[in-house]
Amino acid sequence: MSMTKSERAQIVLKILNKTYPKTPIPLDHKDNFTLLVAVLLSAQCTDERVNQVTPKLFKIASNPQKMSKLSQNQIYKIIKPCGLGPKKSKAIKDLSSILLKKFNGEVPNNFNDLEALPGVGHKTASVVMSQGFGVPAFAVDTHIHRLAQRWGLTNGKDVKKTEADLKKLFDKSLWNKLHLQIIFWGREFCQAKACYGLECDVCKACYPKRIKPFTHKKP
């Protein structure tokens, strides 16, 4: 008899808590503004690359006042290694101006205002809410979406459905830490082009009888 989603969720939690009792924050930042910029830059880019780029950017502009005074080209030249440079540099400059005009230079502490900012989607807002404000949020990207499918925690075809499924399975108090634990596990043991649902301890524990590589539903 196959396991239920809830039973698999408990297995996942047990293994992740044992492997990552503490979860460091992947993106270097010193306040909510630098966190917001770093998360925005991390779209389709590795955290390591972002952490190499942000010190140069924050050395000349670590707050909305200074950032809004830079030209888009000045920002672009620094953040270019992160990819999507023209789009991201415009978003960073524009959101800095909006923070000054509408929020007294502070990063807003709610999803609606965050997601209304240029370049800030639901996933970015979720990371800022959880890591910046300590509000329970489950930031699901394609990385977590893929693992949740492999582990039988969702059959959702998109990140929105996967986020809803994970929030049902795990207590709200676990979301902020669990989101990071899943990311770390994926990077270390269950990469996109390895494991394929067959090799890592979580995949084997959730599906001990699986013999064929897992086929993902594309987001």
Residues forming the active site: 123, 141
Q: Are 44 and 79 in contact (CB under 8 A)?
A: no
Q: How far apart are CA 170 and CA 154, in angstroms?
A: 12
Other Cβ atoms closer than 10 A to 168: 12
Structure tokens at 99: 């923070």
Q: Which residues contact 138 (CB under 8 A, 6 or more apart)?
A: 126, 163, 166, 167, 170, 175, 178, 179
